[in-house]
Amino acid sequence: LLASSEKDLSWISKIQVNQPAVLRRAQQIQARRTVKKEWQAAWLLKAVTFIDLTTLSGDDTSSNVQRLCYKAKYPIREDLLKALNVHDKGITTAAVCVYPARVCDAVKALKAAGCAIPVASVATGFPAGQTHLKTRLEEIRLAVEDGATEIDVVINRALVLTGQWEALYDEIRQFRKACGAAHLKTILATGELGSLTNVYKASMIAMMAGSDFIKTSTGKETVNATFPVAVVMLRAIRDFFWKTGNKIGFKPAGGIRSAKESLAWLSLVKEELGAEWLTPALFRIGASTLLSDIERQIYHHVTGRYAAYHDLPMS
């Protein structure tokens, strides 16, 4: 990591992303046929372990956070896991993700369920990031005090759009400091950054400033996780690894709803960064409805028919 005094970010302005090449690569991923049968079931179960099971609604209450935490601990129906002989593998989601005001509820619910799934909290004026820096930093500290061990922060998009790279670096450094021992996941809100070149630059700055993960979107923008953006962010992670030896995690979020899509994301990460990135420590999927579709596909694989609504009441 660079100390503030020795950072020289002039090279950032010279970076250019080859957009046609990125779009070609993104099309390749989408055109590929997916794995089938038991291989598909195995990959889908793996995908479950990468999910940050999320609820970020204005009408969140302690009871639906409790339900979310129960689902995080028991993501797939027990009899389906038994049929696949993986019921003893301890399959849970990677984390639950909530608003700062709901962190206490989530910590309490997971403790009552007797499991150690981490609680992630969004912060820093999520989703727009348009609040005073002092308030944004306080929000991080309060979420950590309440028991969040992962903080998903949003960057100030204006700093990217106006090319203020040093100011962006300094802000994320302050987020990092406020997190203390908690993991810092930095949301770039790529749909609002204007260009793929800006996505690469913001990714680099976020990693240099000490982010443990870089994340595509809040899920509240009009454009969320897309494959072209993912290719650029994954190449930035690879470049950063080659330069520093530090492995930074990747989290696509927003709009990933189908089991089939989740498999495309897994294979993209495996191809771009290697199998060693396919671990919850380095790869997450931010999703609220994806898990239900994965459970439906597993149900179909086991029983040969699609689930009726009442078959999977907790999804």
Give the separation between CA 202 and CA 32, rounded to whole angstroms.
29
Written as six digits, the tokens of 3 are: 């100390």
Looking at 71, 73, 201, 251, which residue is catalytic? 251
**Active-site pick, 215, 243, 247, 270:** 215
Helix 103-112, helix 62-73: angle, nearest 10: 50
Concerning whether 71 is annotated as a catalytic residue, the answer is no
CB of 306 closer than 8 Å to CB of 300: yes
Instruction: Tell me the residue ranges of DSSP E strands in the chain.
Output: 51-54, 95-98, 119-123, 150-154, 183-187, 213-215, 249-251, 285-287
Cβ partners under 8 Å of residue 162, min gap 6: none
Strand order in the sheet with 95-98: 249-251, 213-215, 183-187, 150-154, 119-123, 95-98, 51-54, 285-287
Which residue has tokens 């989408």? 30
DSSP for 66-77, written as a single string: HHHHHHHHS-S-
Nearest CA to 291 out of 261, 268, 271, 269 is that of 261
Radius of gyration of the chain (CA): 19
Is residue 7 part of the annotated active site? The answer reads no
Token pair for residue 178?
């406020």
Residues labelled catalytic: 215, 251
